[in-house]
Chain A
Amino acid sequence: MKSKVKFGIGAGIIIVTLSCLAYVGAQQSKTYYHTISEIPTLSAAALHQRVRVAGDVKAGSIQHMSGHVDFVLLEQGKGLPVSYVGTDPLPDTFKDGAQCLVEGKVKPDGHFEAETLQAKCASKYEAAPGQAKPAAPAAYSSDPKSKS
């Protein structure tokens, strides 16, 4: 019985320590998912959070500037001006109409500063004539991994 208690204490210490570490780690790395329509309604505190937004790239909105690339992300008719400031070159799939996932911060003026960007060509499967389903679900292993 005594050994069981000792083991219980040891287990408790381990679990508590790891939970604390998990909490710190979660605070450090958490990213909030928002839809584009939610962005204007965010409180001031949310400006410091890392945010992830998904949408489609508005046709003709991509502008290459020096040091950043500006475009507009669309979701259900709402637009969000995004400026990509990341260091990695843009993926080749980043085109007009592409599905796009950006991560970064909302700036006080309402535009989104993206540090990472992932894009997938939306038209990939639609060209197939007579296909039963418009977009086949991608294989689990076929997607590029997140860099963050």
Chain B
Amino acid sequence: MDLFGSYALLLAFALAIYAIAGGIAAVITRRPLLIKSARNAGFAVCALIWLAFGSLVYLFFTDNFAMAYVAEHSNRNLGNLYKFSALWSGQQGSLLFWSFLLSIYVFSALFAYRGKHPELMPYVGVVLASVQLFFLTLNNFVASPFTVLALPGAGGVLHLASQVDGHGLNPLLQYPEMVIHPPVLYSGYTGFTIPFAFAMAALIGRYPGEKWIHLTRKWTMIAWCFQSAGILLGAHWAYAVLGWGGYWAWDPVENASLMPWLTGTAFLHSVMMQEKRGMMRVWNVWLVFTTFLLVIFGTFLTRSGVVSSVHAFAQSSIGTWFVGFLIIIISACLIAFLKNRDYLRSDNQLDSMISRESSFLFNNLILLVACVAVLSGTLFPVLSEAIRGTKISVGPPFFNRVNIPIAMFLLFLTGVGPLLAWRKTSAESLRKNFGWPLIGGLATAVIAVAFGLREFYVTLCLMLSGFVTFTVFSEFFRGARVIAARTGSNLISSAAQLTMRNTRRYGGYVIHFGMVLVFIGISGQAFNQDKQMEMSPGQSASQSLSRSPGVGGAAQAGLYNQGKPAEMTTGSVMTIGPYTLHLQNFDSDQQANYSSERATIDVDKGGKSVMMLYPQRRFYPSNEESGTMVAISSTLKEDLYVVYAGRSPDSNLPVIHAYLNPLVKWIWLGGLVVVLGTILALLPNRQAVMVMSPAAESSPILGGDGRQPARASISARSQLPKDNV
């Protein structure tokens, strides 16, 4: 059983080679049987990877510590959920996990288009199998998760050596979010392989038209959605677990996940220009190529230790493989492009600066500049060493200075773009469309300044957020009003109908609104406060802790409000923003997998005890590491974020670090809206059902799934034949 997985992987490797060779032969000979055989090999590769993955899961759940990877990343007392997440907590497992998720995408794509697009799919199969082959090479020969622990015995014989218990999972990963963040983010990373494969296939096969764009649009959106959610989950994990009060540090690993997101976002916008106007064909192909390159580059960056950061402790030879793969991809892209570029000629030119096209062009430009800035900042130590011989790194001020103006400009374009017409926008329609959003944005800014806001960027951000929000709502309103006038239903149900008729457009607006929420949340950072102090407890440590916060908290609060809080006998007091923190007690606790020290902090606001917070510090004996459990009280207005930072070496008193972070919750809410918007955009458009006879107009005809009656209207009827094609 131990080695089952490694055999499955070897077989998958061999079959991937066949899928490529057979696929190429199929492309050349065009024999249907060969095409089918190559495709079936593709299915088999996926199935074998699933078997290998399942085998690793089994090894983890049976505590098989004869396996090096299991022994290194798990231990007996680890909870079941974390035994599962330990699968991808190390290099070898996470690479197998990469293959696993990729194989799900590959399988779905091959399955969904089996027997369709015979001119395109064999090429797609070859590209997909090539990407799989690279990762299978790593899984098999470079970083196999199925290495068995062995001890050299007499006469050079190796004896199987099993350990009694494993080293355990890194405590920083023992947090529920770490169970979902990597799968979500990896699903984003791997998902961009599909549009890459289709773009490459269409280019090599000179597949006519924009078909590949239509085929991959949903796949790109799925990958993009996972990537967005993954980035935010990672940020939230960093915020809730790492205990430094922030969620984004411009760390190479974070940047690695952001870069493909930036180019992916650019792609999602610029494909519209290709679909509607036949422009930007070269650009789009390169955007997809770049996104995929950045995906592989990001995977490389996080594993090779090439960029010195905290992560620099990890040194590994695997980087060379990735560099090789990157060079192969770049060469393949260049060759495919140079040989077939004549096929990518544009049908149209940019007509006017004030047009939808130009807003997309600027959107793309600015996203690309952001990507280049993040890339160069991340690689600064490598670049500076190559150019000037000294390693220099740049920190958050570099990234912030460049990216904050970019973010503002993007927000501006988010508001402007939908209001501009394709080709050329007349002055009159400008006035008509921009009136309300502009007034809304300015009003937001005026109100903000009236309330005493003086930060330039925050005010600008709020103004633009107001502008975009008004744009989004005015778009819904204008569309809904037309439907309402025609059908007589109310505005809200009209808006719902409107959305379902063009899910892509209105789902996109919902995503825009979600991004506005994220931006508002980020702008709160300008007002972050933090304080750190050694605190002596209010009660003697020997006294038992009152576990019910209500009773103990209220009693203590009363006591403090009367007495002088600064006195040693009543414990230390820390004031941050409107909150007053009293350290009441600290105690320790022994769990199966860790021991913890916990501070009990009573929080007062306006003289009243409002809550108890229990920041913790845990120690995990299995791998001698410790982790913090941050206590966060989160409201829409602000987060009170309290960390038990450890004991002071001088006084042995607990050190408490408190942060007051405004508006952070908006980021997570915005992320949720973005995901919901993407799901909405992925739904198929509901066709307005054609009415058979005018008399039937009065009785509602059920739409596709019967949830809501879709009534025919003249415009819907006239659109119908076109939409059906």
Contacts and interface: CB of A to CB of B under 8 A. Distances in A.
| Size category of the binding interface on chain B | 35 or more
Contacts of B393: 30-31, 33, 52
A146 B650 contact: no
A120 B399 CA distance: 27
Contact of B161 (A33, A129, A142, A148): A129
B72 A125 contact: yes
Contacts, number: 200
Given A18-B373, A18-B405, A132-B68, A124 B624 contact: yes
B163 interface: yes
A128 B397 contact: no
Contact of A125 (B167, B238, B310, B395): B167
A10 B362 contact: yes
Nearest to B72: A136
B679 interface: no
A146 B310 contact: yes
Nearest to A32: B392
Interface in B59-84: 68, 71-72
A71 to B, nearest CB: 12
B434 interface: no
A59 interface: no
Interface string B80-92: 0000000011110
A148 B395 contact: yes
A1 B238 CA distance: 48
B350 interface: yes
Interface in A1-58: 1, 3-4, 6-7, 10-11, 14-15, 17-18, 21-22, 24-26, 28-33, 52, 54
Contacts of A88: 532, 645, 657
Contacts of A120: 313
Interface string B403-423: 001100100000000000000
Given A11-B365, A26-B398, A52-B393, A64 B649 contact: yes
Contacts of B253: 140-141
Contacts of A93: 624-626
Interface in A92-148: 92-93, 99, 101, 118, 120-121, 124-125, 128-132, 136-148
A111 B698 CA distance: 88
Contacts of A76: none
Given A29-B395, A33-B390, A125-B72, A142 B170 contact: yes
A85 interface: no
A29 B366 contact: no
A22 B396 CA distance: 11
A28 B397 CA distance: 7
Most buried by B among A7, A54, A69, A137: A137
B249 interface: yes
A24 B172 CA distance: 35
B308 interface: yes
11 contacts: A3-B353, A14-B409, A25-B394, A30-B393, A89-B648, A128-B167, A137-B303, A139-B173, A141-B89, A141-B181, A146-B251
Interface of B: 68, 71-72, 88-91, 94, 147, 149-152, 161, 163, 167, 170, 172-173, 178, 181-182, 234, 238, 242, 244, 249, 251, 253, 302-303, 305, 308-316, 318, 349-353, 358, 361-362, 365-366, 369, 373, 376-377, 380-381, 390-402, 405-406, 409, 532, 619, 623-626, 645-650, 655, 657
Interface of A: 1, 3-4, 6-7, 10-11, 14-15, 17-18, 21-22, 24-26, 28-33, 52, 54, 64, 66, 69, 87-93, 99, 101, 118, 120-121, 124-125, 128-132, 136-148
